[in-house]
Amino acid sequence: DMQEACVHDGHVLPKLYAKVHHCVSWNAIHAHIVSVRSCENRRNCELPQHFRPSLLLDDHLPFKELFFQHT
């Protein structure tokens, strides 16, 4: 213990804090809000397709087509 190894009895050691910095994209990836893109696809600036609730109004679409759209 560093307090026991200290020469001066009245000396109090300061608290040490480690500040952690994460970017917004790192948090979004780990919260599964966005996904990681491949090296070739990173330059693609198109907006990703989001789930559209209007598709739920179509009763003729099967479940797989509603939730797993292929582009």
Is the pLDDT assigned to residue 62 strictly greater than 80? no
Q: Quick check: is 21 in a domain?
A: yes
**Domain of 19, in residue numbers:** 14-38
**All residues at 6 or more sequence positions from 28 whose CB lies less than 8 Å from its CB, including other chains:** 34
Q: Quick check: is 67 in a domain?
A: no
pLDDT in tens, 18-48: 776 666 676 677 776 667 778 888 888 777 6
Q: Quick check: is 46 in a domain?
A: no
Selection from 11, 44, 68, 61 nearest residue 3 by Cα: 11
Q: Quick check: is 57 in a domain?
A: no
Q: Quick check: is 7 in a domain?
A: no
Q: Quick check: is 45 in a domain?
A: no
Count of domains forming the chain = 1
Structure tokens at 15: 């608290």
Selection from 69, 34, 32 nearest residue 54 by Cα: 69
